[in-house]
Chain A
Amino acid sequence: MSFLTSLVNGLSLGSIYAIIALGYTMVYGIAKMLNFAHGDFIMVGGYIIFTCVSTAGLPPAAGILLAIVLCTLLGIGTEKVAYKPLRHAKSNLAVLITAIGVSYLLENLALLIFGADTKSFTNVVTWPGITLFGGQLRIQGVTIVTILVSLAILIVLQLFINHTKNGQAMLAVAQDQGAATLMGIDVNKTISLTFAIGSGLAAIAGALLCSAYPSLTPYTGAMPGIKAFVAAVLGGIGSIPGAMIGGLVLGIVEILSKTYISSQLSDAIVFGILVVVLLVKPTGLLGKVTQEKV
């Protein structure tokens, strides 16, 4: 039973990684940049919900909605102000470093506003969950909700990308910005939309992450952000199902290695998986191989 419990917990953590990784992978696929600040949007979402629910006493649903809206706006704004001017810079390191700057900025703003102390987050999922096998396996409500939400997000995203005009525009921009422009696609709008979706997803991930692990600091988003980045690469960066699979694999490996091997070494094992996968398949599980034309 303890194995099942760990597996379910792993699925849940993996689902959160997957939601974050979706944002990473979409932004990477379409804007061709590593948005190092992506993880910090989780933290921003967490603080917004915390303020709404714990400080202002609003219902959790309102807090989550507000977090999604504000994170989306913040994502669009960040792209406009900090990333867009560097889109055609000579080195793509420029925008990477700027993203790092944005990450520092968000963390330090949070530090200034909320302080360095850990805030205990109120679980936004009030449903206690279910008990299976005559009480032997208890699954928390937040665990189930997390898994369902991530599944729903995956399905909606796939439908959106494959069946709407905006989604098709995203695919086009991902393949070739120049050609997309020539076909009359508004590249700026498409990239904005991508950031909006990614940041909104980060806010949802924030709500779920902080509910499952109810402690919130300015650095809460950093490590999950990096792990989600790893998940996105593991699945093949740019691929949406890849991000989902990568996230789940990572979450399950992390929880299982914490339970059965060593909690100290779990991060080493998680990163080790990435190394092994990339050695076998250099573009990730579902990544496409592109060859440079001579």
Chain B
Amino acid sequence: MALLEVNNLCISFGGLRAVDDFHLTIEKGQLYGLIGPNGAGKTTVFNLLTGVYAPNEGRIILDGQDITGHKTIEINQDGIARTFQNIRLFSQMPVIDNVKAALENQYSYSLFDSLTHLGKYRRVEKEITERSMDLLKVFDLDRFAETLASNLPYGQQRKLEIARAMATNPKLLLLDEPAAGMNPNETAELMKTIELIRDKFGITILLIEHDMKLVSGICERLTVLNFGRVLCEGPTKEVLSNPEVIKAYLGDE
């Protein structure tokens, strides 16, 4: 059974069909790419998958569970985590606290314990700190643990966003242009990180990316979106050599 199954997804904004009859099937453990020219509706698909928008039509099934119409918070608990095209960190908090905040639904103690630091506070905080440091180590961010997130270099900020999403223990990770603004070295490092997440944690990944080197380097399958509709889908190599796709990217000439 597929991990994510999306059928006939539609949304309109003021009469404009931003996403129309979108479908997508991702198998467990796959590294899947969603590509397409600017304005094709890729980020809108992410927003639909994560409950930022409710679709006008269509179904989203995650791991056999219908999650259509769930709110953002519920969707995170259902098992989808994401990063953002324009980085959205908790900029005035230290790096480690960005990750700790994402452990929200996995560790709990009462507000009273928070206010008094009594009860379960010490024990649970210790676990939270250990878990966060472990995650930061995976992303080689542990040396920046106490740095304010806004003081991190750009590439590290992107990695921190991924680490934060990973902390919510997702089944499916959505990455929105993870390599945007990165130099070739940073992109190469990022590709390794993404593969590592998939291999080490067995997490399924769907990513939006314009960097074709990254896409062809790590994605197993692709879906191409153009004007809100699926242009084609299939194994990466096939899709990238499809004349329709080339036309969509380069225009009619």
Contact = CB atoms under 8 A, between A and B. Distances in A.
A270 B46 CA distance: 45
A294 B84 CA distance: 8
B87 interface: no
A294 B47 CA distance: 8
B232 interface: no
A256 B176 CA distance: 56
In the complex, the 4 A-B pairs of residues with the closest C-beta atoms, listed nearest first: A294-B52, A294-B47, A294-B84, A294-B43
Interface residues of B, number: 4
Interface in B16-71: 43, 47, 52
A149 B208 CA distance: 58
B180 to A, nearest CB: 15
B140 to A, nearest CB: 28
Nearest to B50: A294
A89 to B, nearest CB: 16
Nearest to A293: B86
Interface string A48-86: 000000000000000000000000000000000000000
Interface string B78-95: 000000100000000000
4 contacts: A294-B43, A294-B47, A294-B52, A294-B84
A190 B52 CA distance: 37
Nearest to A294: B52
The bracket for how many chain A residues form the interface is under 10
Contacts of B84: 294
Contacts of B43: 294
Contacts of A294: 43, 47, 52, 84
Contacts of B52: 294
A236 B47 CA distance: 29
B174 to A, nearest CB: 12
B39 to A, nearest CB: 13
Nearest to B53: A294
A252 B84 CA distance: 49
Interface in B82-138: 84
A294 B85 CA distance: 8
A67 B45 CA distance: 59
A294 B43 CA distance: 8
A77 to B, nearest CB: 35
Interface string B140-180: 00000000000000000000000000000000000000000
A294 B87 CA distance: 10
Nearest to B46: A294
A282 B217 CA distance: 48
Nearest to B88: A294
Interface string A264-294: 0000000000000000000000000000001
A63 to B, nearest CB: 51
A294 B18 CA distance: 15
B175 to A, nearest CB: 15
A90 to B, nearest CB: 11
A294 B52 CA distance: 8
B103 to A, nearest CB: 23
A132 B214 CA distance: 82
A294 B46 CA distance: 10
